[in-house]
A = this chain, B = another copy of it.
Amino acid sequence: MIGLGYWGPNLIRNFSDLDDAQVVWCSDLSQDRLNKIAKRYPGVKCTTNYEDLLRDPEVEAVVIATPVSTHYPIAKAALERGKHVMIEKPLADSSEHALGLVDLARRVNRVLMVDHTFIYTSAVRKIRELIDSGDLGEVLYFDSVRVNLGLFQKDINVIWDLAPHDLSIMDYLLRAEPIAISANGASHAGNGIANIAYMTLRFPNNLLAHFHVNWLAPVKIRQTLIGCSKKMIVYDDLEPTDKVRVYDKGIVINGSPEKRYQTLIGYRTGDVLIPKIDATEALLRVAQEFISSIQENRSPLTDGVAGYRVVCLLEAAQKSLGANGSEVLLTDLKAVESASPTMAAVGG
């Protein structure tokens, strides 16, 4: 385990609970953090130099939860030492670095996984199941709000911090290729780092996705509306149990040209269903998936390519942000992707 900031201890706890994994080394620049871990997990070795654990031949896999800018060099070193690697979201600080890791992992035949935690929540899985069942019809829009009074990061803006969650959820649920992205935002801390941002993704067939991420909001909101042609979903991650609601609501389009224009669009309002969601902690599933994919020598559900796709979107959003929200076409993304034939194979 490299990096014991906010997320690292949670990862250690979950890996510790697995029968097939053993946490043997922890690394962090802060001796204070290492001491805390050592007190709670007496058997774990600690170091301020992550090279120590990369050097240890007994270490088969490495989990990286360090600041984003260090993901690439650390993951690269780990893969080169033959370790399997799981990295906190986002996978890397640039699409070039993300792609570099994907390619390297292919070459050394090691698992590269990104911790897109929400993909492993019961709520997101249930929504995917509902979409796949066809009951919801075609997805028309995806609207996501993730705001609160959050930690102002010093090295990345709010898009790189929060949007990976929502972009990975969207990517997992929609499985559609966006045409273009635009982003607007503002910085209020005097350091030029955006703390509020809005992103719009345009897709073919009038599909629209929109994201509001915000570190400077008075209340915590984590709500996603998914408008579909037959039913609609409200996914509220703050609800303790009733996270997903399926509304049997929508419009009925009557194409009959004889009818009066006013009656072309009718409304439909029916029952609301709140499906039961099981309470397994997503991070435990993340840990399990990493271990299983190593044991089974397969791509994990959230593999390097999934991480790469999200980084491409972040990068394009960043570009749009710097250009007052001008659309950035995502054809570049596909160009890069096709330049890496190995990746497509992994993605498949």
Contacts and interface: CB of A to CB of B under 8 A. Distances in A.
A261 to B, nearest CB: 5
A208 B186 contact: yes
A233 interface: yes
Interface stretch (A156-164, A167-175, A199-207): A199-207
A187 interface: yes
Nearest to A226: B218
A250 B189 contact: no
Given A225-B147, A276-B271, A218 B196 contact: no
A145 B229 CA distance: 21
A149 B266 CA distance: 11
A208 B212 CA distance: 13
A218 B247 contact: yes
A324 B272 CA distance: 34
A191 interface: yes
A176 interface: no
Interface in A202-261: 202, 206-208, 210, 212, 214, 216-220, 225, 227, 229, 232-234, 238, 240, 242, 245, 247-251, 253, 255, 261
A216 B227 contact: yes
A242 B220 CA distance: 12
Number of chain A interface residues as a range: 35 or more
A20 to B, nearest CB: 14
Contacts of A212: 143, 210
Contacts of A140: 186, 188, 196, 216
A17 to B, nearest CB: 9
A217 B223 CA distance: 13
Contact of A233 (B196, B218, B229): B218
Interface in A295-328: 324-327
Interface of A: 16, 39-40, 42-43, 140-141, 143, 145, 147, 149, 151-152, 154, 180, 182, 184-191, 196, 198, 200, 202, 206-208, 210, 212, 214, 216-220, 225, 227, 229, 232-234, 238, 240, 242, 245, 247-251, 253, 255, 261-262, 264-265, 267, 269-276, 324-327
Given A184-B210, A188-B251, A325-B327, 15 more contacts: A141-B188, A141-B216, A149-B250, A152-B265, A154-B264, A184-B200, A186-B208, A189-B253, A190-B253, A202-B325, A214-B227, A216-B250, A269-B276, A273-B273, A326-B327
27 contacts: A16-B40, A140-B188, A141-B216, A149-B249, A149-B250, A152-B251, A154-B264, A180-B324, A184-B202, A184-B210, A185-B208, A186-B207, A188-B227, A189-B251, A189-B264, A189-B265, A190-B255, A191-B264, A196-B208, A198-B198, A210-B212, A217-B227, A218-B225, A218-B234, A218-B245, A218-B247, A270-B276
The 8 residue pairs across chains A and B that have the minimum distance between CB atoms: A218-B247, A218-B232, A272-B274, A186-B208, A152-B265, A186-B206, A184-B200, A140-B188
